[in-house]
Structure 1
Amino acid sequence: MKSSRLVSILLLLQTRGRMTAAQLAAELEVSVRTVYRDTEALAAAGVPLYGDAGHAGGYRLLDGYRTRLTGLTAEEAEALFLAGAPGPAAQLGLGAVLAAAQLKVRAALPAELRAHADRVGGRFHLDATGWYTDPEDTRFLPEVADAVWNGRVLEVTYRRWREPTDVRRRLEPYGLVLKAGRWYVVAGPGPRTFRVAKILELTVPGDEFTRPGGFDLAAHWAAYQRDFLARLHRAEAVVRLQPGVVLTGPAGVAVRANGRTDAAGRTVATVPVESLDDAHDEFLRLGTGIEVLEPPELRARLAATVGELARRYGNPPAPGGD
């Protein structure tokens, strides 16, 4: 709707400053001609909106102008309160800040929208922590977050999986990522990814750094995950799945991409695996729902395990154990 689009133009210019017609059109997913018409309508309504020509031109609001728009829809109010995850905010040392901000927003909402927002807290709860995992020691998370925000260098002792396990690193922290209950800091030079819980010691020497202007944290993390999975799943296995058996993760994606189903409803597919040990344990959980056709060494490992299980459970247990 045009009225909603006019409000969006105002808020974009208020929060981002000068923007060209092309930038506004791309943000709003409309034509440049539509932006021209909308800005003319805003100027005609008395909004102090100015357009500058030239290479460095664009639209801007008069310095100091602030709109007092409060036209949140019910859905927007609900989304705003749903987005505030109290657990991660508390870990970052922002729990009280988040609560105060939500209280202020709630007080500014009309009664009807306030009821919508209150309903979110009673019906939806965001828990980013994975199942069956012990809470991580993230005692340095507030310091890391502060360094990310203020562009300060960190010197850390970090525990990695290979020798030497404990190493000293000088980090330029670009951003923090919460993945399945685990916090990661993406830091230069590189950039590289470090797990916050593996930081054993941390000092802030006071040095500052400049975050790369073109760095996109979300895009970097997506690329990092793709590269991680590619490095993780370097081997392959050919499996035959019984009807109704579903694999998850990269293996499930591979089944959907190259699986062939026979007349009996069984699906044969080539799937990525991390290692023979991991594939052995993962496929064994599916019991008779899966048959490994290749590689021969994995098939032999599973056959040996099944044979041992048959021997162990095929006879009554001996008194006192084996």
Structure 2
Amino acid sequence: MGYDVNRFQGEVDEELTCPICSGVLEDPLQVCCLYALPPVAQIYICHIHFRFQAVMCEHAFCRGCINEWLTRQPTCPVDRNALTTANLRAVPRILRNLLSRLSITCDNAPYGCSSVLKLDAYNSHLEECIHNPKRPFPCEKGCGFDIPKDELKDHNCVRELRTLIVKQTEKMGELKTEITDQQLTINELKRELQLFKDFMRAMRVSNPAMRAIADQMERDEVIRWSSTLPRARVTRWGGMISTPDDALQLMIKRALSESGCPPHILDSLMEFCHERRWPRGLSSLETRQTNRRIYDNYVCRRIPGKQAVLVLSCDNLHMTEDVMIDPGLVMIFAHGIE
């Protein structure tokens, strides 16, 4: 619907009004298609020729008015020629400029607003108008909701909070159901992925090409897992436990598994958490003290929730063989991990 003509100062040109609602054009559209008129018969020595003439009506309407009209009948409201929404375009700039120069009173004049403003500033003014009865104000009773000005006197914090709790509870129920469904899907995908991995491992024995593909897939899986672990910094290398007991190893193994460690490297990593399996540059207290300056070059990943780090070979390709081993090292500390 267009703007009420009576709200404008001065006379409004008829070309700026909508033929449907008789109001001043709001968000206007113009007919810009070519229409085919009925054929005109012309007789030339016993021959009949049909000639189609084309015209452009260029009538302008409010967007809302013409769209509603076309839902009922696909014709131009003025000349009744065939019309569809595909034949509508934005009005020319000159018409938009003429509309923008019109002066209109605020919607909130009945509530005390005396502003008269240009039409192009009308919408922005409505959003900020202090007399707007629907302008939200923060509740001062404690609930923290933004309430329309005309609803503040009837606002009840307890009622609104109860309504919110009911909606949130329903939403949580929907999310729990969705999570359950997603978890079932994830478990099924994991099962299928594991079957595929088992197939690849079985094939690699007899097929060199499959062996190369399977190896690359396993390397990529380790790299993806590594990227999910936070970087760690060792502040006291002297706090390293180079000979962890079985109970400590079991605790670290459980933490690795819960972090998503690929199963094909889990046992190997745990074998390399004790100095007896470390490379020669780390295998004794003397060599570790000799190579202590090299430690700061390690890229370490934090084992979640533990005073322990992973030094994975995929993160440490820059390290030499005497201080690195594939797939990586597990270093457990009494303290000194950030």
TM-score range, shorter chain: under 0.3
- Structure with larger RCO (C-alpha < 8 A, sep 6+): 2
Larger strand fraction of residues: 1
Larger-gyration structure (1/2): 2
